[in-house]
Amino acid sequence: MRIATWNVNSIVARLPRVLAWLESAKPDVVCLQELKCTTDAFPPEVAGLGYEVAAYGLGRWNGVAILSRAGLEDVRRGLIDEPAYENETEPRAIGATCGGVRVWSVYVPNGREPGHSHYEYKLRWLEALHTTVTAESTADRPFAVLGDFNIAPADDDVWDISLFTESTHVTEPERKALEALRGAGLRDIVPRALKYDRPYTYWDYRQLAFPNNHGMRIDLVYGNGDFAAAVGDAYVDREARKGKSPSDHAPVVVDLTP
């Protein structure tokens, strides 16, 4: 089974690229983030490629989905005890069981800057993710949380850590939230680097960040023991970041062996 995660930065704007990638990469299950469309407005062309779709969006700067050609059961929108931001529960997490594998597609809040109310919201949201993982990953089945975590797990996951000392994505509380997920039995499935030393997944559109590989690894796959034991390969598809009007993220692909 091939499982992927991709922050597409607007499914409508990126639809031709997404459809082409689905046909070429042939993933069985795809977790998408930053849809920027409502649930009902998710493009029907994706289903035309043979995917069942579970989407969750309000049409603003968030939205998540799971696409599957391996079955789509027990769909859950939202986390256990998920916090709201400015009195609104944002569509940032969706879970489903696909071919016996339980997956969650998550779009962790950015946090904006340490001390901001959105940063505090991010930490509360990560606590709700931990609660959900604890409740669901105890079953005897492969389980994984995939998506844009907006956290770089280690200093090496940022092209120049000195530029981020006063920024979100690398603060101790955020990284402790990832440690808590590992404490709940999940493992960081680190993709192999295809061209450079570090398998970055995000590059800013500005200042030639992508051709200079000034990136970050913030699109993560966290799986339980059953999931990790089945991983045969994992890589970042940098080709999907190239060309005209790409997302600023590249897909992370994980191949599971029977």
Mean pLDDT (the chain, rounded): 96
Mean pLDDT of 222-226: 97
Mean pLDDT of 111-139: 95
7 has binding-site annotation: yes
pTM for this one? 0.97
With bands split at pLDDT 50, 70 and 90, how would you rate the model's confidence at 209? very high
Say whether pLDDT at 187 is over 90. yes
Of residues 196 and 3, more confidence is placed in: 3
Q: Which of 28, 51, 56, 107 is catalytic?
A: 107
Q: For the stretch 149-176, what's the b/e string if a residue is b when 16 or more beta carbons lie within 10 angstroms of its beta carbon?
A: bbbbbeeebbbeeeebeeebbbbeebbe
48-88 residue pLDDT tens: 999 999 999 998 889 999 999 999 999 999 999 999 999 99
Look at residue 258 in the predicted model and tell me its pLDDT.
Answer: 83
Say whether pLDDT at 213 is over 90. yes
130 has binding-site annotation: no
16-36 residue pLDDT tens: 999 999 999 999 999 999 999
Active site residue 148: yes
Active site residue 107: yes
Domains detected in the chain: 2-256 (3.60.10.10)
With bands split at pLDDT 50, 70 and 90, how would you rate the model's confidence at 188? very high
Look at residue 136 in the predicted model and tell me its pLDDT.
Answer: 93
Q: Which of 28, 119, 121, 148 is catalytic?
A: 148
116 has binding-site annotation: no
Look at residue 223 in the predicted model and tell me its pLDDT.
Answer: 98
Write the CA distances from 54 to 31, 45, 87, 152, 156, integer angstroms. 10, 14, 25, 27, 34
150 has binding-site annotation: yes
In the sheet with 2-7, reading across from the earlier edge strand, the strands are: 52-56, 64-68, 29-33, 2-7, 252-256, 231-236
Active site residue 118: no
226-236 residue pLDDT tens: 999 999 999 99
34 has binding-site annotation: yes
